[in-house]
Amino acid sequence: MAGPEIKAPAFREFPTIPALQPGSMAGSQAYVASEKIQEAIGFQGKLDDDWQVTHDKAIAKMGDLLGKYRGLKVFMDSCVHCGACTDKCHYFIGTADPKNMPVARQELMRSVYRRYFTLPGKLFPSLVGAKDLTREVLDDWYTYYWQCSECRRCSVFCPYGIDTAEVTMAGRAILDTVGYGQKYSNEIIGKVHKIGNNLGLPGPALENTLEGLEEDVKDATGVDVKYPLDVHGAEVLLVTPSADFFAEPHIESLIGYGKVFHAAGISWTLSSKASEAGNFGMFIGNYDQLRKIALRIREAALELGVKRIVVGECGHAWRAAYAFWNTLTGIGAGANDPFAIELQKQLDPNYKQPSHICEVTWDLIQQGRLKFDKSANDDRIITFHDSCNVARASRMGDYAGGQFDIPRNIIKAVANNYVEMESSTIRETTFCCGGGGGVLTDELIDLRIKGALPRMEALKHVADHDGVNFMATICAICKAQFTKVLPYYGFNMRLVGGVHQLVSTAIKLGDEQ
């Protein structure tokens, strides 16, 4: 491809906050969805020729969202421009574009909100920073709402809990409504509905893949570990990101899930109908899509008659599953309405519904039902990258913060060498990989590389000082993103992998149980 070679920003000797470079990322735009992609999922195909029509539709949609989402309304009214969030976004740190400061990203929408929905903005727009919605403003929305990974790091630090992810989602929802959608995300949503997963892997291909996987595992271990598909009456339905079926290093974790179920003697199945845990409806802030995509899992669970629903290693999917599935589909507990009860009476109340695969594995470890040869991982010095949606938008286990401890506990149970990265870059203040929230697309590679800077710096530190050569994570997007950007920072792309990849390496499959 022509054009300048894309380079990673230099590591900072001290983590200073960059001086502003206005407009430095103004040219980094995601591809716009075609009419075909838009219309396939029920969105307007393209912008109206008459700007006034687009303008009116956008403002009407904004009013609609303000009436439906308390968060958005409170967040529009509450910001005082204190600046607490200004240095917290990995995209700002990596790009120095001031519109990537969380408050400035919000302000793209808030200035329009003030103009059309508040008295001072109607009377004295320039005084309060209110702006008319123009084509230029809408283009800015498109550019910068697609430079946000909805990672919520800013929401940790905001004194009012303002979550830029919610604003980004609303911005994207308005853009979709007026026919200004993003190709990458909307194309994927179309595939989920048409084929059943984000990567467009049809049922027969999935079956072949899983058969091949069984042969590979048999060759490697001599044990018949099964990777079952569409088995009625299985105890567990495993829903996992479709990248787990063939992408590296994702597939290594899928192998690990199968070994865990095999070793524990739990019957399980994948579903060709619900062969995708990811839910890009969340990224575009569209409740209807979020719900429709999640409903596939409910339907598969009802058809297969499973007792438990378990989710594989995927960050935003775990947020959708943990925080939203009960609301959207009734997968959970505690409902008193017929729609949800229909499913909940089928599910086993002794288990958390849904469960994360890490919760399952950790429970089994604690019960002594899994045995490991920890030395099998001795060639690895391991660190753990907390994925944003797991860290800041969900939970594992019984207490707040279990999402940090359980994956680490598993790693320490299956390996001897574990090192923690710098404390301000892990747990609730973890940095996004740079590719989450619907920006994992090639045309945004510059943004993705720059956005990875804070994580790469923390990794560099433990790589240099502690010899870390394996960064474990539990998110399909993190894995794909790091595989791509690690080389730009001088690391081996194979340095990233899944927690269940480590489990897979160390687990004993004999008759120990």
Partner 1 sequence: MTAATYFFAILFYAATALLVVGLIYKIADFARTPAPLLIPTTPAPTTTGGMVFRMFREVALFESLFKANLWIWIFGWMFHMGLFLVLARHLRYFTEPVWFWVALIQPFGLYAGFAMAAGLGGLWARRFLVERIRYISTPSDHLMLALLLGIAVTGLMMKFVMHTDIVAVKAFFLGLMRLEIQPLPEHPGLYIHLALVALLMIVFPISKLLHAPGIFFSPTRNQVDNPREARHIAAWASEFDGK
Nearer to partner 1, 68 or 494 (CB): 68
Question: Which of residues 7, 12, 36, 68 is near partner 1 by CB under 8 A?
Answer: 68
CB 459 within 8 A of CB 421: yes
> By the 8 A CB rule, do 318 and 389 touch?
yes
Nearer to partner 1, 21 or 208 (CB): 21
Q: From the CB of 322, what's the least distance to partner 1, in Å?
A: 6
Residue 510: Cβ-neighbour burial (10 angstroms; 0-12, 13-18, 19+): exposed
First CA to last CA distance, the chain: 55
Instruction: Check binding of 187 to partner 1 (CB under 8 A).
Output: no
Which residues in 9-38 contact partner 1 (CB under 8 A)?
A: 17, 19-20
Rounded to a whole number of angstroms, the minimum distance from the CB of residue 477 to partner 1 is: 18
Among 12, 36, 81, 135, binds partner 1 (CB under 8 A): 81
CB of 85 to partner 1, least distance (A): 7
Q: Give the whole-angstrom CA distance, residue 247 versus residue 243.
A: 5
Phi, psi of 86 (to 5 degrees): -60, -30
Which C-beta is closer to partner 1: that of 28 or that of 355? Answer: 355
Tokens of 213: 């996987």
- Judged by CB under 8 A, the stretch of 41-49, 53-61, 71-79, 179-187 that binds partner 1 is 71-79
**What is the contact mask toward partner 1 in residues 89 to 128, using x (rule: CB under 8 A)?**
---------x--x-xx--x----------xxx-----xxx
Q: Tell me how far, at minimum, the Cβ of 78 lies from partner 1, in Å.
A: 3
Between CA 292 and CA 288 the distance in angstroms is 6
If one counts every other C-beta atom within 10 angstroms of the C-beta of residue 82, the result is 11
Yes or no: say if 270 and 227 are a contact pair by the CB < 8 Å rule: yes
CB of 501 to partner 1, least distance (A): 25
For the bound state, the minimum distance from the C-beta of residue 115 to partner 1, rounded and expressed in Å, comes to 13
The single residue among 142, 245, 362, 404 that binds partner 1, judged by CB under 8 A, is 404
Pairing of strands 308-311, 236-239: parallel
Could you give the angle at the alpha carbon of 292 between the alpha carbons of 41 and 191, nearest 5°?
Answer: 45
70 binds partner 1 (CB under 8 A): yes
Gap between the Cα atoms of 499 and 392, Å rounded: 19
- Cis peptide, bond prior to residue 249, ω within 30 of zero: yes
Q: Between 6 and 82, name the residue whose CB sits nearer to partner 1.
A: 82
By CB under 8 A, residue 356 contacts partner 1: no
Q: Find the part of the chain contacting partner 1 (CB under 8 A) among 50-58, 81-89, 411-419, 486-494.
A: 81-89
CB 259 → partner 1: shortest distance, Å?
Answer: 26
The one segment of 173-181, 206-214, 396-404, 496-504 that binds partner 1 by CB under 8 A: 396-404
Of 258 and 438, nearer to partner 1 (C-beta) is 438
Residue 345 in contact with partner 1, rule: CB under 8 A: no
Contacts of 88 (CB under 8 A, 6+ apart): 102, 153, 154, 156, 157
How far apart (Å, rounded) are the C-alpha atoms in residues 260 and 417?
A: 21
Q: Which is nearer to partner 1, 4 or 83 (CB)?
A: 83
Torsion angles phi and psi, residue 292, rounded to 5: -60, -40
Given the complex with partner 1, which of 60 and 82 has the nearer CB atom?
82
Which position among 52, 336, 367, 423 is part of the footprint of partner 1 (CB under 8 A)?
336
209-268 residues in contact with partner 1 (CB under 8 A) are none
Minimum CB distance to partner 1 smaller for 336 or for 350: 336
Residue 353 contacts residue 347 (beta carbons within 8 Å): yes
- Residue 113: how many CB atoms within 10 A of its CB? 25
Tell me the closest approach of the beta carbon of residue 81 to partner 1, in angstroms: 5
Question: Coil, strand or helix: which one is 121?
Answer: helix
* Interface of this chain with partner 1, residues 144 to 173, rule: CB under 8 A: 152, 155-163, 166
How far apart are the C-alpha atoms of 258 and 268, rounded to whole Å?
Answer: 9
Report the residue number, 308 or 484, with the smaller CB distance to partner 1: 308
What residues are paired with 182 via a beta bridge? 32
Interface with partner 1 by CB under 8 A: which range of 217-225, 399-407, 485-493, 494-502?
399-407
**CB closer to partner 1, 70 vs 465:** 70
Mask 424-453, x = binds partner 1 (CB under 8 A)? ----xx------------------------
Only one residue has tokens 């574990």, namely 418
Q: Judged by CB under 8 A, does residue 83 bind partner 1?
A: yes
Distance of alpha carbon 496 from alpha carbon 481, whole angstroms:
10
| Residue type present at position 508 | K
Binder to partner 1 among 46, 57, 61, 73 (CB under 8 A)?
73
Q: What is the DSSP string of 64-119?
A: HHHHH-HHHHHHHHH-----TTTT--HHHHHH--GGGSHHHHHHHHHHHHHHHH-H
**Whether 164 contacts 102, CB under 8 Å:** yes
Give the nearest distance from C-beta 43 to partner 1 in angstroms: 18
Count residues contacting partner 1 (CB under 8 A)? 81
The rounded distance, in Å, linking the Cα atoms of 153 and 186 is 25
